[in-house]
Amino acid sequence: MLKHTLFFEKEKLNGILAYASRMNDERQSGEVGYYHLMDTSLALIKESEKFIKDKEHIKKVLLIGMGGSSCGVKALKDFLFDEKSNERELFIIDNTSSHTFTQTIKKLNLKDTLFIISSKTGTTIEVVSLFKLLIAHFKLENSELKKHFVFITDENSKLHQLGDKLGIYSFFVPQNVGGRFSVLSAIGIVPLVICGYNAKGLLEGAKACYEDFFTHKKDEILQKAYHYCTHKNAHINVLFSYGDAFKGFNEWFVQLIAESLGKKQGYKRVGLTPIALIGARDQHSFLQLIMEGPKDKTITFLKVLNAEKSPAVPDFSLPFLQGCDFANGVNLHSLLNAQCDATLQALRAENLSVDLIELERLDAWHAGYLMYHYELFTSACGIMLGINTYDQPGVEVGKLILKKLLKKISPKNAHNTLLCT
């Protein structure tokens, strides 16, 4: 299970229930589709299994995606490293870095690799550019693409239209599901199923979180959102995740919070600034600032209670290092959690607003619960800040400028037939 402890004074429930009612209105309106993905995506598991059933030759899968089309998948790949039913290896390229592209391509060959092109809009410039690079690298004709590629996109997007023309199979993302809230849609489910991860457990965990919030009326998410959104001094939320398996999750968390909550509200600018750290490593770089720097931060600690296969520190002494023997016999995971607990206590002593999320174990169920938990938290914050949580007008401005710049520098601009917008 997931346990969420708040180390700050809670608001009276009748003072924040109106926000829960507005979230319920969002859920029932059908305009915000992520609320229902744990149910609607069950059919995707069967569709994905059917698609890959006769493709036993596929040993590797390369996902090309940006932002919401990749962050969640990266998080789950890290989460579920020990929970797979087949040997297919998942690779992800989510940047137009020539280093990443060339180094990844060296590990792949055409015969046993499936390429997933993932773009909700179907016109993401980075994704389309990388798609073209793959075609050129493997010297493929249009008629050959359907053997090696599959698309994940909106129905009737330009990418879908291309797939229809070339016979490339397309999985669809619901129109009412935004990219950064799409991890439980085809964006996440399809690559996970194909690579043997437990997608059903993921959806079951999300369903449990849904029930806890909407049916059982648990209030920790609302309480945390209200405290952090109305804090007089702290508009930075630091997520301190203890364990390297959370590295991808931290990236997903930053995108979810920053792109959803950083908005203009008339002439006012609002939002929570997310910072994601990995414990215990980042205690040796960032903790000093939190402890003795400006009190403009709230801190969320995230840890896993149980970890199998964790080796223990050997019980012997080394000359001159006997002062470190207090850790002898302690397994590495217990040491990591002790570091988490000690840091939490130190920050509480500084009267900082702190909360703690504890996962019983790292598995698909807990991953689904945690990610849905944060999606609900983000929606609650958006309502409390009085903004549109689900758009990103600031990002669109940059895309328009990029398009103008690329038109100036492209040597083939006169013949450019890109569909991108």
Just list the catalytic residues.
Answer: 259, 284, 399
Collapsing DSSP to helix, strand or coil, 70 comes out as: coil
Give the distance, in angstroms, between the CA of residue 127 and the centroid of all CA atoms in the same chain: 18
Find the helix or strand (DSSP H, E) in which 236 lies.
Answer: strand 236-242
Residue 111 is which amino acid?
Answer: K
| Two tokens, residue 251 | 């990236």
| Two tokens, residue 343 | 């840091």
Alpha-carbon Rg for the chain in angstroms = 23
**Residues of 348-374 as b/e, b for ≥16 C-beta within 10 angstroms?**
eeeebbbbbbbbeebbbbbbbbbbbbb
Give the distance, in angstroms, between the CA of residue 51 and the centroid of all CA atoms in the same chain: 25
What is the arrangement of strands in the sheet containing 89-93, beginning at the earlier edge strand? 89-93, 60-64, 113-118, 149-154, 170-173
**The tokens 């959102």 sit on which residue?**
225
Strands, E assignment, 37-163: 60-64, 89-93, 113-118, 149-154
Q: Phi-psi region for residue 196, left (φ > 0), alpha (ψ -120 to 50) or beta?
A: left
The CA distances from residue 281 to 242, 287, 306, 365, in Å, are 9, 10, 20, 27
Q: Phi-psi region for residue 173, left (φ > 0), alpha (ψ -120 to 50) or beta?
A: beta
CA dihedral 393, 396, 398, 404 (to 10 degrees): -140
The CA distances from residue 246 to 115, 137, 222, 243, 368, in Å, are 25, 33, 24, 6, 14
Determine phi and psi for 222, rounding to 5 degrees.
-65, -45
Residue 102 is which amino acid?
Answer: T
Q: Report the sign of the C-alpha dihedral through residues 349, 350, 351, 356, in that order.
A: negative
State the pairing for strand pair 268-270/263-265: antiparallel
In the 8-state DSSP scheme, what is residue 93?
E
